[in-house]
Structure 1
Amino acid sequence: MTTLTPVLSAHWDADRAWKLARYEADGGYRGLRRALAMAPADVVTAVKESGLRGRGGAGFPTGMKWGFLPAPDGGPRYLVVNADESEPGTCKDIPLMMASPQELIEGVIITSYAIGCHHAFIYVRGEVVHVYRRLLESVREAREAGYLGTDILGSGFDLEITVHAGAGAYICGEETALLDSLEGLRGQPRLKPPFPAVAGLYARPTVVNNVESVASVPGILVGGADWFTSMGTERSAGHGLFSLSGHVTRPGQYEAPLGITLRELLDMAGGVREGHRLKFWTPGGSSTPIFTDAHLDVPLDYESVGKAGSMLGTRALQIFDETTSVVKAVSRWIQFYKHESCGKCTPCREGTFWLAQIMARLEAGQGTAADIDLLLDLCDNILGRAFCALGDGATSPVTSAIQYFREEFEAGTHTPADVLFPPERSSLFDYTPRRSTQLAGVHA
């Protein structure tokens, strides 16, 4: 697998790629027309046969998720697109919505038709105002062209899409917290069961899918299940966006078959920045256990990454070279999880607080010999006991970093991380610390 498979990203570099006319010229909405000529159940079957798995992190089979909805009872059912992308290192959905919003909208219409939904929601982060505005404009264009509203393309199917801007909370990436936020409540995870498929938005049957999952549906309807399964591996079929960032020569989005390796992706991206070597990396964002240079040839599919001790997650590949302090990097991630904990459950609320305190001590070179074991003990008390996956995710970088780089944590008992790994060496930009005399002059 040494070549890319541009499907979602095939026309990102086209002139005004986000416009409806450009999307139609490139073959857009063929999948919708094909879907409307099929029975809804046949659309669900086609997605099941494709082997498409959720691209938001968990990797649950998308068609199977649709099939969990109970039989129609005459009441409404909903589709909610989770566009609340906020995992540190994850940056695939926002460029997709910016460059090709109509691809997402077409996927929303097809999915809604398949599950019997007549009102769909796209929940996007409020901070990305440019994306929010583009989606609003794209929905307007689709409605004026007859792809939304009543009697879509003469099929008798009706659908409206609401684009909703969240207020900026990482926890709202958790599907039930997102639903509470969409209802106007404080974004906190719900107790499950009942699951959203039975009682989701407004206590009605609801499907919650990631942006990339939904945007992949039109291609499956056009190309067919066999085309989709021709890419990827037997149990992790299809293409996916791999986001390379950090100490890499050419960071960016690389759309490739699942099962490609980091070594192959780095070859395409020009390798680790010149003069340096790979030290550690994340296969799926900061909430997944880290890997080292020993894992360069692990196939990036759900099964292989899991077998190697991590999770594929959102395929956010953060690359760190030998100039980076593992302790400092993990400390920053834990600060994030502490800040973003909703506080609903004790293991996460208290556990992330104490993880952050201990990591700060070790980063400052003021830790104790007992701190490493205390970190592991805290992680054991959080993992599997938190109300949602935020707590579990917070433990992943800690335990894996200690597993692979325990000596750096031990060094945190006597030497600050900034002394062992000067920040100016790992910085990707000009690093000019402000001196106290300069600050004094400013305040004067």
Structure 2
Amino acid sequence: MEGIPLSSLKSETLPNGVRLLSFNLTATNASNGTDVTCLAFGDDGNATETAYLYVQGPPDSVSNLTGYQLDSCCMFISWYPPFTLPGLTVQYIISVGTDQQYLNDSITNYTYCPMNLTNKQYLFNITTTNKAGNGSTSNITVGFQSSSQISIIYQDSYTYRVNNYWYLCFLLSAHQLCTEVPLVNITLCTVNNDSCYSSMNITINHSAYNNTSLVVIINLPSREILNTNIILYYQNGVKFESNTIAISTYNLQHIMMVNTTFNEVCLQFLFVNGSTTDIIYIHITNYEEPVHQPVYYNISCNDQLNFTECITNIPAGNNLTLYACESMEDCTTNPAAVLTGINIDRSRTSMVSSNDIMPNPSSTTSISLSTISTTMMMEDCNIRECQSEVPVTSAVLISVLSVFLILSLMINVITLTVCYCKRRQDDR
């Protein structure tokens, strides 16, 4: 580099009497970080102490530029910054289509969550710049693929009720959510879109294994089973719709048959936390012979949310249907739960019938042994005992013998009387 003529120097005297000389140089054909040796020569030809200058022009391009789809709403790119002299800054100009974003030197990544997101390839251009001007531009293409349909699991065991406000918990994979975009609303719409219910509050909890739970507070009608689709609305206009989920707004959430025995069925009941129901009515139908008067079995909750109770003295039958209801008025039309295909056997008890034995008071000439027929029926055994001979009791025999003795005595008395009368007649 050629020497600097004195005419181009700027001179300034500092307060301590030191004279300060300054000048400007334009580097040509040099890269960032080129060092320049600066020497000043006096009139006597002696050089001053050597000074080193480092030149910083427009920044180089970024390095290691990578990108990928972050979630169902956003894409992510990152890079390594270019060389920059200490104390100097570099900025980045990010361009994606018509969208443009300026980032300062402390940021080396960028999350892009556009409005009206579509499935396609997105081209990212990143240009470096500083006070010396714009530097090089690097680019990368990131593919985006997402579906408006998401899979959600309804965790009904965590359901809580306060009057008509329901606390519902849903579980879904984290990649199905938009982590960088606010979730503004969750709506439950029935399958035929007759009714939609909007959330009052949303809580997002990130758990292990890349799962996320959503706790939604929502006002729902009571005593209904709603087949709904869960719709998630995000601030950038993205909307996701879930699979069909059945949500019960009965106090009785689940009923399960534990076992059945003879004329008895045992059931497990699960009530929602915050339940206000005291009694559940059990009604069993589909008997082969029609039941003229419906029978309801009352189950008391006893301040328990999960308990097992057995119902006894149930008429036997096959392929029965059990209705669990919170009201008797509409039990079969609006039950909280229904169990089908229930088989209840008869109790193993024996029933013996016999004919009473009564003596015939008009019979005085003959004695016979009475034959008593008894039949014993036992379920599943098919044992039948018929025509068993039973002798008449001793009391009856004694009574009959007494009658004959009296008759014999009377006959003897009559005979003696006749004989006596006849002899007197002969004597005369």
The alignment's TM-score, normalised by the length of structure 2, stands at 0.20
Structure (1 or 2) with the greater helix fraction: 1
Structure (1 or 2) with the greater strand fraction: 2
The alignment's TM-score, normalised by the length of structure 1, stands at 0.19
